[in-house]
Chain A
Amino acid sequence: MNEDIIRIQVEGPGDRVHELEIPDGINLSLMEVLKASEYDIMATCGGMALCATCHIQVLEGMEKLEDRTDPELDMLDTLPDADDDSRLACQIKINPSIDGIKIRVFGNSSI
């Protein structure tokens, strides 16, 4: 097992589960990694926790993530489909402590 690689399981779209392998030290947010991996994430505001288009559900490993900040909670609170396991991917920094989390991407192709 390479310690310099951070692994994140991503569920969706549909039943697809894909494992992302991200090198440590790339200084990106999870939103940026998902976007670069061609997930359907608009990230309209570019990472300011202001648009909620990078809304994800954390299926496993919520405890590995840093707590949600006020701006993130404010934004999540406006969403019709947010819940206690919701996060904005732009507010999650890629670092070794998040290795092994499993998330679901909502995507923007909603009705």
Chain B
Amino acid sequence: MSKEIIKTDIAIIGAGPVGLFAVFEAGLLKMRCHLIDALPQVGGQLSEIYPRKPIYDIPGYPSIDAQDLVDELMKQIAPFHPTFTLGERVEFLEKQEDGSYYVIGNEGTIIHAPVVVIAGGLGSFEPRRPEIPGILDYEGRGGIHYFVKNPENYRDKKIVIAGGGDSALDWTIFLSDITERLTLVHRSDSFRGAPDSAEKVFRLAEQGKIDLILQSNLSSVHGVDGQLKQVGVADKSKTETLLDLDYLIPLFGLSPKLGPIGEWGLNIEKSAVAVNTFDYSTNVERIYAIGDINTYPGKLKLILCGFHEAALMCQSAFKYVYPDQKLSFKYTTVNGIHEF
């Protein structure tokens, strides 16, 4: 898959609050930013985990809901026209001859920038994987999908969905129409998702349109030549039943993982990137880390601290973007915001 290379001044990995605010600080210094995030929307943890929870320690806001803060940040950075690649995880950083970097995503996106900023929070959000021996062997082409990307893949196939949350219920309802046979496996005998959806699922089971296996968990996977053929489902007494299938779709939500960031030659301490507090640079020149992803003596994982780190990082990154210019510090009150 080849895509056009995206050229920018700063490639920001992670579009959470700190990554977003870095766009503002960079914009004040006339540096353009492109952000890439594994989640399909901006906001990081704030939008994904607690959008409607209040935050009380953002200066100037006695209380602000997490999603509102994200929305306000998007307004604040709008004059600097950041660009985004969402729903794509960064896999590699590739150093170029002139010292700049290619930031390469798992869907083939390439961002070319003289500076890379990792604002990755606690890593990328990845699907929770049931701890079943051998499950890794069948992921992707082998028949285990953690997302429903193209429902048509499942037409006239035998599908097992595992999970009890809203997405498990919603996809069960949706896919029950097109699959040859759909089985939903859930560990409890009730669903805590939207009551409407739960009711629909029970009705589909009564009508014989789906098989509902409650009080049970996935217990084993079996296949031939890397292709999943059967899954084991164990009830509370650990009695296992084998189900034939074409695809298994485990839907247990997302959980953050450090992921590939750990493989880029950066100093890692306790699942975080060690930085110099002078400018939040890492041990690799031109790569910075700000926000929850970094660590240093006295580190506090606060959005507030990430904002500060973003400001200092930009002052330092300027020399790579404009090597021939001298940076002069200016207040926004004096200088205003200059859109570009």
A66 at the interface (CB under 8 A from B): no
Q: State whether A80 touches B218 (Cβ < 8 A).
A: yes
Residue of chain B at shortest CB distance from A53: B255
Q: Which 9 A-B pairs have the closest CB atoms?
A: A80-B130, A78-B253, A80-B252, A78-B165, A77-B192, A74-B192, A50-B49, A77-B164, A50-B50
At the interface, yes or no: A82 with Cβ under 8 Å from chain B? yes
Chain A residues lying within 8 Å of B256, measured Cβ to Cβ, are 42, 44, 51, 53
Q: Is A15 an interface residue (CB 8 A)?
A: no
Q: Which positions 282-311 of chain B face chain A at CB distance < 8 Å?
A: 301
The digit string for A75-100, where 1 denotes a CB below 8 A from any CB of B, is 00111111100000000000000000
User: By DSSP majority rule, is chain B's interface helix, strand, loop, or mixed?
Assistant: loop
Contacts of B122 in A (CB 8 A): 42, 44
List B contacts of A53 (CB < 8 A).
255-256
Q: Mark B44-69, 1 if CB is under 8 A from A, else 0.
A: 01000110010000000000000000
Which residues of A are found within 8 Å of B130, using beta-carbon distances?
80-81
A48 to B129, CA, bound (A): 22
Q: Contact between A79 and B129 (Cβ–Cβ < 8 Å)?
A: no
A residues 20-76 in Cβ contact with B at 8 Å:
42, 44-46, 48, 50-53, 70, 73-74
Say whether A110 faces chain B, with CB atoms less than 8 Å apart.
Answer: yes
Show the binding face of B for A, using Cβ within 8 Å.
Answer: 45, 49-50, 53, 122, 128-131, 135-136, 162-165, 187-188, 191-192, 217-218, 250, 252-253, 255-256, 271, 301
From the candidates B191, B252, B301, name the one contacting A79 in the complex (CB within 8 A): B252
Task: Kindly report which residue of chain A lies nearest to residue B167, judged by CB atoms.
Answer: A78
A110 touches B163 (CB 8 A): no
CB neighbours of A52 from chain B (8 A) = 253, 255
- How far apart are the CA atoms of A80 and B218 in the complex, in Å? 8
Please give, as numbers and ranges, the residues of chain B lying within 8 Å of A1 by CB-CB distance.
none
Which residues from chain A contact B255 at a C-beta distance below 8 Å?
44, 51-53
Which one of B49, B131, B301 contacts A81 once the chains associate, using CB atoms below 8 Å? B131
CB atoms of A79 and B128 under 8 A apart: yes
B27 CB to nearest A CB, Å: 29
Instruction: Name the A residues within 8 Å of B253 (CB-CB).
Output: 52, 78-79
Contact A110 B50 (CB under 8 A): no
The CA-CA distance from A110 to B53 in the complex, in Å, is 28
Asked, given contacts A44-B122, A78-B253, A79-B252, whether A111 binds B131 with beta carbons under 8 Å apart, the answer is: yes
Task: Closest B residue to A38 by CB, please name it.
Answer: B270
Which residues of B have CB within 8 Å of A83?
187
Instruction: Please judge, given known A-B contacts A42-B256, A111-B136, whether A80 and B250 are in contact too, CB under 8 Å.
Output: yes
Q: How large is the interface on A (under 10, 10 to 19, 20 to 34, 35 or more residues)?
A: 20 to 34
Cross-interface CB contact of A44 among B45, B129, B188, cutoff 8 Å: B45
Q: Can you offer 23 A-B residue contacts whose CB atoms are under 8 A?
A: A42-B256, A45-B45, A45-B50, A46-B301, A48-B50, A48-B53, A50-B53, A74-B192, A77-B165, A77-B191, A77-B192, A78-B252, A79-B128, A79-B253, A80-B129, A80-B163, A81-B131, A81-B217, A82-B187, A83-B187, A111-B131, A111-B135, A111-B136
Contacts of A45 in B (CB 8 A): 45, 49-50
B191: chain A residues within 8 A (beta carbon): 77
Known contacts A52-B253, A78-B165; can you find 6 more A-B pairs with CB under 8 A? A44-B255, A45-B50, A48-B49, A48-B50, A80-B129, A80-B131
Closest A residue by C-beta to B136: A111
Q: Which residues of A contact B131 (CB under 8 A)?
A: 80-81, 110-111
Q: Which residues of B contact A48 (CB under 8 A)?
A: 49-50, 53
Q: How far is the CA of A96 from the CA of B188 in the complex (A)?
A: 31
A73 near B136 with CB under 8 A, answer: no
Complex Cα distance, B227 from A35, in Å, reads 40
**With a CB–CB cut-off of 8 A, which chain A residues contact B136?**
111
Q: Are A44 and B49 in contact (CB under 8 A)?
A: yes
Given A73-B192, A78-B253, also A51-B129 (CB < 8 A): no
Instruction: Please report the C-alpha to C-alpha distance between residue A111 and residue B217 in the assembled complex, in whole angstroms.
Output: 18
**Smallest CB–CB gap between B295 and chain A, Å?**
13
Which of B122, B191, B217: most chain A Cβ within 10 A?
Answer: B122
Q: Which has the most chain B C-beta neighbours within 10 Å: A51, A79, A80?
A: A80
Report how far A91 CA is from B252 CA in the complex, Å: 20
